[in-house]
Structure 1
């Protein structure tokens, strides 16, 4: 007996636009964990209390946009993260934080020598490799603290690419910037994370437990 293929996000959203409430429930189930994680980490500890508000507002925007929604090149997930990113920017501005639109004044840090930095993952691939994901995830809480020190634009690019596994092209769409701008933000973010984390991860490079 053949099994019907799982509907795509676009198909579910189209069904929801036609009044199928169950289609929305399936979309919500698919993306709630990833979206909440993205929102929570983007806001950081200082604005963590606003995470539920941003999360709920993002889904409310999906509900309100259902009748006008149509695929426009980006995936539903990318569009969903774009909505969340807009709300996070609103929260940052409301809290009095500066949200820089560019990173032109940033100077990317480059490691000296080859000891602890020889195998740090690059930020130039169109999609993150499994070894890159494993490397960053093993950094644990230390990485989260360093992420909180990044400018919002760079933190967004890093989380979308390395945590939510979006290709750089989709990162650019989600942040509504050009591909090269997204790539630059990601490169700056990774350079600053190298500085923040220092030699902390050097033992992990060799498979040691710290």
Structure 2
């Protein structure tokens, strides 16, 4: 006979959400404390520079949606964090559409995703990854690289930006990215592939001049 599924750990997100659904306010406080920073960062970067002023609104509305849906919450194979980020993603889409921006959810692209020649040749001259306490030119390079990456993220279509942030910034496995975006696995994989191609192109174009300045 197949054994029943094991109960979640007492302090796991799923267990806390179940406790909150039953009226335990302290469980909600733990969830909020655990996920507020990551969720806020995700919302801010997903909205981009043009809509950054809406970050607090989306962040608060996401938690409000969680509160209102607590009685109906079921994990259904996805983690609590994936479900939380799905709520935020859907709210961001609402904001984009309300602002008049087009949210193209199709995943077809013209041509083949760009791949750098020679195994990321455009990036081979970058300094090594930053040390624990970068100094001087190294610190300036990686600070500017971070600024450029945020600018490049702003240029991505929203579906591709979501896939990149969930996978690389919030470290969700690709299967969880697909659940958060409410798409199939291959669709999520395609979005991530295009996002990475465009970011490589954008970062290479930006940082080549910076390399010359530093030399």
TM range (shorter): 0.7 to 0.9
Is the contact between residue 103 and residue 185 of structure 1 (CA under 8 Å) also seen in structure 2? yes
Offset of 1:195 from its aligned partner?
A: 1.0
Number of residue equivalences: 189
1:102 matched to which residue of 2? 106
Higher-Rg structure is 2
1:44 matched to which residue of 2? 48
1:115-150 superposed Cα distances (whole Å, 9 cap, x missing partner): 325699xxxxxxxxxx8xx9xx87311100000000
* 2:117 aligned with 1:112: yes
Offset of 1:113 from its aligned partner?
A: 4.0
Offset of 1:64 from its aligned partner?
A: 0.4
C-alpha distance 13-192 of structure 1, shift in aligned 2 (>3 A): same
2:184 matched to which residue of 1? 178
Name stretches of at least 5 consecutive residues in structure 2 with no aligned partner.
Answer: 1-8, 133-141
1:64-117 superposed Cα distances (whole Å, 9 cap, x missing partner): 011111221000000000000000000000011110111202431122345325
2:6 matched to which residue of 1? none
C-alpha distance 119-10 of structure 1, shift in aligned 2 (>3 A): farther
2:79 matched to which residue of 1? 75
Q: Distance in 2 between matches of 1:197 and 1:80?
A: 30
Bigger proportion of residues as helix: 2
Is the contact between residue 97 and residue 103 of structure 2 (CA under 8 Å) also seen in structure 1? yes
Name stretches of at least 5 consecutive residues in structure 1 with no aligned partner.
Answer: 121-130
